[in-house]
Structure 1
């Protein structure tokens, strides 16, 4: 029954997103929340694999569609925006967790990392939906969000990770793989163009799935690797638009909705006791306000006339989904976070995304 309900809910909420004018990923998250809490949908074996592929495909397209010239012009502004919108919330959340709650330094630091992220996987489709992706404003926002994700990943690796000689070896192998994959792809795409076996798509599936292998061994978030790979493939795939369109249909029509549905299904009301709810409200207040106002303050000063976008930017940077959940799960599995804190973080991450989507919808009307 689960196998039927999941795609049915995704289709229904996809239609709702079109009718009410809200971004589809947000409605797919709500579908996941509804599915697990009201229909008691349990995990099914294929869901994790497809969800993983969904985020890889999504980030591959994000890299593919970056306008290099616009990005180059705005990289300085994006860097300033990213640094500010990571460091200010991280300091505020970690300090509040350490002083007010109080948790030990390791726990407080991990809470700070988990709730200071910005999900590139959500920022990309939102900017695309708003038709801002290839504008000066959009590329600055996107560059900043990528940097926030990278800073979150580096913080987690430096503070809690362990670097061995195997890490270095696999890092070198990852770089070599990502450098040569586009060259091999270019040869295959030219030789087997228009074949019925769809060798081009099979090759792209292979390299995307390979990123999971390298990501686990190097400790680099797979979404970042997929984004870089998409960036490297962009010039090659400009000459093969039919491949891009085929992959787009698979990723946006099937894979990425499963990823967002899976993210929503992590918010289980049955696991949210009174203390977890109180923690979630506290985390949400501190995290949302710190991120919202730091983003607004910096963005409005980056260029003349950009102040009118600051409300939108404050909301966009509060999408914490991907790495926020990964960091929280890491803490739970390694005994740094309790089940209570983990549940509160998951609730905060998802609620912040839902609140942000409402702000964006009202901003569009303005």
Structure 2
């Protein structure tokens, strides 16, 4: 029988190690956790117990929700064309490129090629949001444009997975109806509830949000979907309430980044089998190259068309080239439903994890722009207005 306390100590020890390394090398802790998880999984072995899977899954849900709360409706309306165009092309370009390569070059059957295309069409909300929170870019207008484009990109992935492989039955209809009602009611009920309970040590606001996320996540699982899918939409629905009360998302980020998300990122790294990776390294590299190349061909010209600076355009394109949560979910969906085999799953998941690492490291190291937070920009504009 496993000692749950010692296992917990190992996981949190690895999370602490990743935090220290990330500070020393000035790299996003999310990326370091993936690397540490991969090394640990292939050396000492990490036990993926039910409680570990729950914490990792809840971490992905909460992180996706928090990313949704960063979508400022005002910024989205102001930059609707750029966010929508970048998001749609960010999905379509790699989906078509990978799909056709898998089907007509290496000869995968059509359903397997579709799983490959969907898995590598994504961007990583989890990685992008984690990086932006660390750097403060989530408080900038450019950061909010990128997060909105990420949402649209992943919405295309979810739509494709749903249309191609979903079972259209009573449970799916019930899940859709309950989600729609929740999205309509939450912006009206949540602010009233938050005002009534106030900021308490017992954190009723956090418990209420967790209840909604877990409830919708449970319905999604019953409907044959994924628990993380409705979290982004709930985050967007509650974005105005969170923008009005910055202390609430701050407290939830502490919970997420301290306990939950390390399990998610460490687990993602531990799923990579180094032996299987070495045997299929060439194909993994090709899939990763196709994903990044098609993202660049599709997105970079759009950033120029919408008058992004050269550095901002490269940074946006690189972050849109990432992938993790929905890419892993799509590959796991294919494995669980016997559409792809274990070897194909390893190839796709490793390419997905590679896309979380390579573009983000390049973006942070060489193309990180100097953004001015929206609050600072407003503050610096006031003296000029007063002088005028």
Q: TM-score, normalised by structure 1?
A: 0.91
Task: For residue 305 of structure 2, give the secondary structure of its aligned residue in structure 1.
Answer: coil
Query: 1:235-254 maps to which residues of 2 (within 5 A)?
Result: 235-238=240-243, 240-254=245-259
TM-superposed deviation, 1:191: 3.0
CA contact (8 A) 2:158 2:229 kept: no
Query: 1:132-147 maps to which residues of 2 (within 5 A)?
Result: 132-147=137-152
**Within the alignment, does 1:277 sit opposite 2:281 as a pair?**
yes
Q: How many residues align?
A: 364
**Within the alignment, does 1:299 sit opposite 2:303 as a pair?**
yes
TM-superposed deviation, 1:95: 0.9
TM-superposed deviation, 1:111: 0.8
Q: TM-score, normalised by structure 2?
A: 0.86
Could you report, residue by residue, the CA deviation over 1:215-263 in whole angstroms, capped at 9, with x for unpaired residues? Answer: 2245555444222222222333455554433322111221122211111
Pair 1:185–1:80, CA change in 2 (3 A): closer
Query: Residues of 2 paired with 1:204 and 1:50: CA distance?
Result: 16
TM-superposed deviation, 1:33: 0.7
Task: For residue 300 of structure 1, give the secondary structure of its aligned residue in structure 2.
Answer: helix
Query: 1:151-162 maps to which residues of 2 (within 5 A)?
Result: 151-162=156-167
Cα RMSD over matched residues?
2.2
Unaligned runs of 5+ in 1: none
Q: Which residue of 2 aligns with 1:309?
A: 312
Could you report, residue by residue, the CA deviation over 1:52-77 in whole angstroms, capped at 9, with x for unpaired residues? Answer: 21122212222223322112111211
Pair 1:126–1:239, CA change in 2 (3 A): closer
Deviates more, 1:173-182 or 1:148-157: 173-182
Query: Residues of 1 paired with 2:358 and 2:246: CA distance?
Result: 36
Aligned partner of 2:195 among 177, 190, 197: 190
Aligned partner of 1:172 among 170, 177, 187: 177
Query: Residues of 1 paired with 2:245 and 2:145: CA distance?
Result: 28
Query: 1:76-225 maps to which residues of 2 (within 5 A)?
Result: 76-218=81-223, 221-225=226-230
CA contact (8 A) 1:74 1:139 kept: no
Query: Residues of 2 paired with 1:110 and 1:103: CA distance?
Result: 10
Task: For residue 8 of structure 1, give the secondary structure of its aligned residue in structure 2.
Answer: helix
Pair 1:83–1:186, CA change in 2 (3 A): closer
CA contact (8 A) 1:301 1:307 kept: no
Pair 1:144–1:210, CA change in 2 (3 A): same
TM-superposed deviation, 1:316: 0.7
Query: 1:355-366 maps to which residues of 2 (within 5 A)?
Result: 355-364=358-367
